[in-house]
Amino acid sequence: MRSIMAKSCLIIISVLSVLACSFNAHSSSIGDPLLNRTGDVVFSGGVFIYTGSFNMDGTATAFKFYDNDNYTPNRTVTPLLFEKVSNFHFILRGVGVSRPTAEIGIHNYNFSLIAGSDTVHSNYTFGFTNRNMSYDGQALSTINTYQGVVDLNFGGSWFGTVPYQSFDIQLGMEFMVFGTTGGNIVKLDEQAYTYSAQMEAEPPATVPEPYSITLLMLGIAGMVRKIRG
């Protein structure tokens, strides 16, 4: 009797594991490794954009970066989501909560949307700005700007705005390499960077279809009857 109960319990545990896997898909991260790097940006309020893409549909969940340089005190960085029109053209679609740096190395924060959308698609990427930002439900505001926060090396897969360029960040704003600043377009510098920053996204949960669950349960019932027989 105990043997039958033990086998039945094992079957139930296996079924629950299968269902759990069906409801919980794996997250995906993009960006560059979170390493100590030699550089820092010396101008304030820049926007920096990763040229890779998520290659999936889902929701942005986490923003991570590396900073261990006490360059200026009480600095803040704000995570951003972009639609990637091309490798040289990006549109701002989402803004997360501004996060402080403690100069402790790796910083791991929730994305925590404040404006726009935290939905990502296969043609989406991420970035950040060295600003403390707020949103009143209609427009974004820059509370303060800062010099370099996230560690960098020169050369790589990131673009940044032209140094000392002045602009207000708003949803739908376009950022372009080789572009001309004006209106809703901000010019990106041709200089490429490598930043110690990553964004994590979660795919939608996959819910098993009813008939799949029914077939699975019928199979379990048959196995239990066979064990008892």
Residue 216 pLDDT: 52
For residues 224 and 180, the model is more confident at 180
Q: Per mean pLDDT, which range of 8-12, 43-47, 64-68, 185-189 is the poorest?
A: 8-12
The residues facing 95 across adjacent strands are 80, 115
Q: What tokens does 160 get?
A: 């940044």
Distance CA 180, CA 95 (A): 24
DSSP string over 32-86 = ------SB---SSS-EEEESS---S-EEEEEEEEEE---SSTT-EEEEEEEEEEE
Asked whether 131 and 76 are in contact (CB, 8 A), the reply is yes
Q: Per mean pLDDT, which range of 80-89, 126-135, 147-156 is the poorest?
A: 147-156
pLDDT confidence band for 89 (50 / 70 / 90) = very high
pLDDT confidence band for 219 (50 / 70 / 90) = low
Give the CB-side neighbour count of residue 229, counting CA atoms within 13 A.
Answer: 6
Q: Which residues contact 221 (CB under 8 A, 6 or more apart)?
A: none
- Is the pLDDT assigned to residue 205 strictly greater than 90? no
Mean pLDDT value of segment 122-150: 95
Q: What is the pTM of this model?
A: 0.79
Q: What is the DSSP letter of 201?
A: E
- Is the pLDDT assigned to residue 202 strictly greater than 80? yes
What is the signed CA dihedral for 43, 47, 48, 50, rounded to 10 degrees?
180
Residue 13 pLDDT: 47
- Is the pLDDT assigned to residue 215 strictly greater than 80? no
Mean pLDDT value of segment 181-205: 89
Q: Please identify which residue in the block is written with the tokens 């439900």.
A: 137
CATH topology of domain 28-202: Jelly Rolls (2.60.120)
pLDDT confidence band for 63 (50 / 70 / 90) = very high
At 9-58, the pLDDT tens digits run 445 545 445 444 444 567 789 999 999 998 888 889 999 999 999 989 99
Q: Long-range contacts for 204-211 (Cβ within 8 Å, ≥24 apart)?
A: 204/25, 204/57, 204/58, 204/59, 205/23, 205/24, 205/25, 206/22, 206/23, 206/25, 207/22, 207/23, 208/19, 208/22
Mean pLDDT value of segment 142-157: 93
Instruction: Give kind and range of the element (H or E) at residue 222.
Output: helix 210-228
Q: Where are the domains of the chain?
A: 2-24+208-228, 28-202
Q: What tokens does 76 get?
A: 């803040």
